[in-house]
């Protein structure tokens, strides 16, 4: 499957000249939630992700996602794996399990996000599940920003990645973009102006 094309077709991968929240410029921008806007697309992506996980022989009882970004991806993945789904959410900045969701002692839990950048929220969701007696067996995401190492990839995890090195991380592909300082941006040099993604209703 061509992950980049699926993102493009669903308006989740924008091409142009963008001003990022960091102040830097880029010629790509990801609107991760858009790729799951169509349930049929979400189902296909989750099935492909589930296939990779099954091939790795990882036993999973429950998928848990950090809210809000991971919920749709995690729910579809749980459906594809035919397991239970719960989510963790921040309360006053601290990741917690609420809403009557329970962790069964020593059950195998996979943490799922829509996209992993450094994996900070996924790691926090994993810690809270662990503190409640769950056994974290791995991490998953539809896409990866290239800092973390996807299971089976022959490369080193970058220092920005917060996911534990001893657990598998499953994803369908990488989105690695060039990021430019404004004074060194080739699009600026061509004379176009960087726009804030969202400023056109995106």
Q: Which of 201, 51, 31 is nearest to 114 (CA)?
A: 31
The Cα-based distances of 73 to 11, 171, 193 in angstroms read 17, 11, 34
Please, which of residues 10-69 interact with Zn ion by CB under 5 A? Answer: 25
User: 2 or 183: whose CB is closer to Zn ion?
Assistant: 183
Q: At what angle do helices 39-55 and 71-81 cross, to 10 degrees?
A: 60
Strands 94-96 and 108-116: unpaired
User: Which stretch, 67-75, 82-90, 141-149, 192-200, contacts Zn ion (CB under 5 A)?
Assistant: 192-200
Q: Decide if residue 194 touches Zn ion (CB under 5 A).
A: yes
Q: Which region, judged by CB under 5 A, interacts with Zn ion, from 40-48, 81-89, 168-176, 184-192?
A: 184-192
- The correct pick among 67, 167, 188, 195 for binding Zn ion (CB under 5 A) is 188
Q: Does 187 bind Zn ion (CB under 5 A)?
A: yes
Could you tell me whether strands 62-66 and 13-19 are parallel, antiparallel, or unpaired per DSSP bridges?
Answer: unpaired
| Alpha-carbon torsion (143, 149, 154, 158), positive or negative | positive
Residue nearest to Zn ion (CB): 185
Q: How far is the CB of 120 from Zn ion (least distance, A)?
A: 27
Residues that bind Zn ion (CB under 5 A): 25, 185, 187-188, 194
């Amino acid at each position: 499957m061509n992950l980049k094309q699926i993102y493009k077709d669903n308006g989740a991968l924008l091409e142009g000249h963008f001003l990022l929240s960091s102040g830097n410029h880029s010629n790509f921008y990801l609107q991760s939630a858009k790729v799951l806007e169509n349930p049929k697309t979400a189902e296909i992506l989750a099935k492909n992700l589930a296939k990779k996980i099954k091939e790795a022989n990882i036993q999973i009882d429950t998928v848990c996602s950090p809210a809000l970004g991971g919920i749709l991806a995690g729910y579809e993945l749980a459906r594809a794996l035919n397991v239970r789904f719960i989510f963790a959410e921040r309360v006053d900045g601290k990741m917690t399990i609420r809403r009557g969701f329970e962790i069964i002692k020593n059950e195998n839990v996979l943490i799922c996000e829509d996209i992993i950048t450094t994996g900070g929220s996924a790691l926090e969701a994993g810690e809270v599940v662990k503190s409640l007696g769950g056994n974290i067996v791995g991490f998953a995401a539809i896409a990866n920003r290239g800092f973390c190492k996807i299971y089976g990839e022959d490369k080193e995890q970058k220092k920005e990645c917060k996911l534990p090195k001893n657990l598998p991380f499953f994803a369908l592909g990488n989105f690695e973009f060039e990021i430019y300082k404004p004074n060194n941006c080739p699009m600026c040099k061509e004379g176009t102006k960087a726009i804030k993604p969202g400023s056109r209703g995106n």
